[in-house]
Structure 1
Amino acid sequence: MELSNKLIQVRIPREATTKQQVLSVVAAMTIGVILGLAAKLVDTPGVNPIFTSVGDRLGIWIFVASLLSVFSYSPQLAAIRIFAFFGSMLTVYYVYTTFVLHFFPGKAILFWGIVAVVSPVCAYIMWYAHGNGWLANIISALPVTVLLVEGFQLRNAYLPIHHHYYLIPWLMGIYLLMIVVLLLLLPNNRRKLLSIVPIAIILSIIMVYFNVLGRIFGGMNGVL
C-alpha cells in the first residue's frame, strides 16, 4: 500500500471507459501487426538494407514500446498493450517466416519470446516516465540509454568484408532522431531534460564500458 501511494505521487492513472481501453489495446495490436509484417517484408532482397538494419535491432522496438507504454491510461493498461503489441508483431513475423518462407529460426523465436514475456513488466515501469520526481527522470533515461549504447556500437556493425559501411551514418542519424523524439515526448515538461540527459549519458558510458548489451543478449541483437 505504501508503494502504491508513492507511485501515485509520481503519476496518477487517467480514467478510461471500457471501450477506450479496448480500443487502446486493439490499436497496439494493429500497430504490432503492421510493423511485424513490414519488418518481414523489408528482408526481401532488393529492398534498401537500411530498413532491415533498423528492424533487426532492439532500438526501434524499444522506441515504439516506450511511446505505447507512456501514452496509456494506466500502468496496468500499458502492460497489456505492450504484450499485445509484441505478441501480434512476433506472431505475424514468425508465422510468415515459418509458413511462407519455410524457415524456422528457433533461436531468434526464443529470444524475442523472452522479450515479449518480460515486456509487460517493463511497460508497467515505463508508464511512470511521464510523471514527476527523480524516479520518473531515471525511468525516462532508460530507453534513451539503450538507444545511445546501441547507436554508439553501430560503429562496429559491419566488418571489412561487408559492403554496407555507408549505412552507418544513416543508421546513427535514425537513432539520433529516435533519441530526440523520446527526449521531447517522455518527460512531462522540458525542464526535466536537464536531469534526464546526464543520467542517460552516465548510464550509457557504464553500459558501453562493461558491454552490458553484449553480455545480456550474447550476439542475438544484430549490432552485437
Structure 2
Amino acid sequence: MEIQNKLSEIRVEKKSTTKQNFFSVLSAITIGMILGLVAKLVDDQGINPIFDAIGGRLGVWIFVATLIAIFSYSPKLAAFKICSFFVSLLTIYYLYTVFFLNFFPMREIVFWGMCAVVSPVCAYVMWYARGNGFLSSAVLALPITALLSEGYQLRNAYLPEHTHYYLIPILMGIYLIMVIILLIVVPKRRLEFLIVLPISIILSLIIIYFNVLGRIFGGLNGVL
C-alpha cells in the first residue's frame, strides 16, 4: 500500500470505464496488426531498404510502444495493451512469413518472442514517464537512451547488397526525430528535457563504450 501511494505521487491513474478499456486495447491490437503487416511487406529488397532497416531494429518499436504505454489510463492497462500490441504484431508478421513465404525463422521468433514477454513490465514502468519528479525523468530517459545508442551504432549498419550506405545518415536522422518527439510529447514539464537528455546521453555513452546491445542481442537486433 505504501509503494502504491508513492507511485501515485508520481502519476495518478485515470478512471476509465470497461468500454474505454476495451477500445483502448482494441486500438493497440489493431495498430499491432497493421504495423506487423507493413513491416513484413517492406521486408523486401525491391522496396526502399530504409523501411526494412528501421522496422528490423528495436528503436521504432520502442518508440511506438512508449507512446502507447504513456497515453494509457493506468500502468496495468499499459502493460496489457503493450502485450496485446506485440502479440498481434508478431503474429501477423510471422504467420505471413510461414504461410506465404514458407520460411520459419526460429532464432528471430525466439528473440522477438522474448521481447514480447518482457514488454508488459517495461510498459508498466514506462507509464510513469509522464509523471512528476525525478523518477519520471529517469524512466523517460530509458527509451531515449535506447534510441540514441542504436541510432549511433547505425553508422556500422549493414544494408542490402552494400549499395545503400548513403541512407545511413537518413536513418540516424529518423532516430533523432523519434528522440525529439519523445522529449516534446511525453514530459508534462517544459524544461524536463534538461534532466532527461543528460541522463540519456551518459547512459548511451556507457552502452556504446561497452557494446551492451551487441553483447545482449548478439547480432539479432537487426531482423524482425
Q: Distance in 1 between matches of 2:45 and 2:178?
A: 26
Superposition pairs of residues 115-130 of structure 1, within 5 angstroms: 115-130=115-130
Which residue does the alignment assign to 2:210? 210
Please list every run of 5 or more consecutive structure 2 residues that lacks an aligned counterpart in the other structure: none
Which residue does the alignment assign to 2:62? 62
Q: Distance in 1 between matches of 2:208 and 2:2?
A: 36
| 3-state SS in 1 of match to 2:103 | coil
Tell me, yes or no, if structure 1 residue 196 matches structure 2 residue 192. Answer: no
One-letter amino acid of the counterpart of residue 136, structure 1? S
| 3-state SS in 1 of match to 2:162 | coil
| 3-state SS in 1 of match to 2:115 | helix
TM-score, length basis structure 2: 0.97
Tell me, yes or no, if structure 1 residue 52 matches structure 2 residue 52. Answer: yes
One-letter amino acid of the counterpart of residue 92, structure 2? V
Q: CA deviation at 1:121?
A: 0.2
One-letter amino acid of the counterpart of residue 157, structure 1? A
Identity fraction in percent? 63
Q: Deviations over 1:77-111 (max 9, x none)?
A: 00000000000000000000000100000000000
Which residue does the alignment assign to 2:25? 25
Q: Distance in 2 between matches of 1:147 and 1:197?
A: 12
Q: Distance in 2 between matches of 1:46 and 1:155?
A: 23
Q: Distance in 2 between matches of 1:43 and 1:219?
A: 18
Tell me, yes or no, if structure 1 residue 76 matches structure 2 residue 67. Answer: no
Following superposition, which runs of at least 4 residues in structure 1 exceed 4 angstroms of deviation?
none
Tell me, yes or no, if structure 1 residue 110 matches structure 2 residue 110. Answer: yes
| 3-state SS in 2 of match to 1:166 | helix
Q: CA deviation at 1:158?
A: 3.0
Q: Deviations over 1:144-198 (max 9, x none)?
A: 0000000000111138x71121110110111011010011111112111110011
Pair 45,211 (structure 1): closer, same or farther in 2 beyond 3 Å: closer
Q: Distance in 2 between matches of 1:16 and 1:180?
A: 30
Q: Distance in 2 between matches of 1:92 and 1:178?
A: 25
Which residue does the alignment assign to 2:11? 11
Tell me, yes or no, if structure 1 residue 183 matches structure 2 residue 183. Answer: yes
Q: Distance in 1 between matches of 2:89 and 2:105?
A: 16
Q: Distance in 2 between matches of 1:222 and 1:45?
A: 15
| 3-state SS in 1 of match to 2:165 | coil
Q: CA RMSD in A?
A: 1.4
Q: CA deviation at 1:45?
A: 3.5
Q: Distance in 1 between matches of 2:125 and 2:96?
A: 32
Q: Distance in 2 between matches of 1:7 and 1:210?
A: 32
Q: Distance in 2 between matches of 1:125 and 1:141?
A: 12
Q: CA deviation at 1:112?
A: 0.4
Alignment coverage as a number of residue pairs: 223
Q: Distance in 2 between matches of 1:81 and 1:38?
A: 20
Q: CA deviation at 1:115?
A: 0.4
Q: CA deviation at 1:48?
A: 0.7
